[in-house]
Amino acid sequence: MTGLRERKKAQTRQHLCAVATDLFVARGFDAVTIAEIAEAAEVSVNTVYNYFPAKEDLFLPWEHQVDRPSRRVRDRAPGESAAEALLRELRRDIADRRPWVGFMERGYDRFLRVVFGSPTLIARLQRMQHATAERLADTLREETGAAPDDPVPGLVAGLLTWLTGNVFRVAGDGAMAGDPADEIVRRMLHVIAEAEALLGDRVMGYARRPLTPGGAS
């Protein structure tokens, strides 16, 4: 059970993010200072930095997003490959309309306008995508026991990261165009289905977990 202190810290983080996001949407990311966020949230500047070492962390959180694909590969079911696990969970996220795939209460279009209006956030997003692919490659290498000079884990990670990015792009294009959520969902799922066929058996079957510990899949 989560303790009182942890709940209060989570509430403070959520409050700071909400206040900062409102300011970013209203004025643009680069125009807002940490001091202004602290004043609007009625906390000290040091409190903001204690929770978020960089201003970008308030709008584009790093660790959870970067580790999500790797975590899903590590948690894949017996008999399931890395790609199957990732795409299964991505389909579930889309069906459940999770915020990290583009279904935000505040509007994905507003989120994207803030990002595209800031060179700092664009650079951050690019670094996150690169870090996600690198971490996924490391995870695939560990899960398969691939040699350090084996290029396959990096190639598979790059392909799966590229696919995920394309699915997110569909969500962004739909949101910016003001399309209905149901239509955006349909397009995202269609992209996944088409990509599965293009990736082929080798990528789709890579890092398949054995059905029994130590056994064959």
Q: List the domain boundaries for the chain.
A: 4-58, 63-204
At the top level of CATH, the class of 4-58 is mainly alpha
pLDDT in tens, 116-140: 999 999 999 999 999 999 999 999 9
Q: What is the CATH number of domain 63-204?
A: 1.10.357
pLDDT at 16: 94
R_g (Cα) of the chain, nearest Å: 19
| Secondary structure (3-state) at 127 | helix
Long-range CB contact pairs, 75-80, < 8 A, 24+: 76/207, 76/209, 77/209, 78/209, 78/210, 78/211, 78/212, 78/217, 79/208, 79/209, 79/210, 79/211, 79/217, 80/208, 80/209
Angle, CA 139 vertex, CA 205 and CA 84 arms, to 5°:
30
pLDDT digit of tens for each residue in the chain (217 aa)? 567 888 888 899 999 998 999 999 999 999 999 999 999 999 999 999 999 999 999 998 887 889 999 999 999 999 999 999 999 999 999 999 998 888 887 678 888 999 999 999 999 999 999 999 999 999 999 999 999 999 999 999 999 999 999 999 999 999 999 999 999 999 999 999 999 999 989 999 999 999 876 554 4
Q: Which of 99, 127, 95 is closest to 112 using CA atoms?
A: 99
pTM for the model: 0.86
Say what the pLDDT of residue 79 is.
Answer: 96
pLDDT at 143: 96
What pLDDT does residue 2 have?
A: 61
| Rounded distance between C-alpha atoms, residue 202 and residue 75, angstroms | 20
**What is residue 57's predicted lDDT score, i.e. its pLDDT?**
92
- Tens digit of pLDDT for each residue in 170-183? 999 999 999 999 99
| Non-local CB neighbours of 66 within 8 Å, separated by 6+ positions | 128, 131, 132, 135
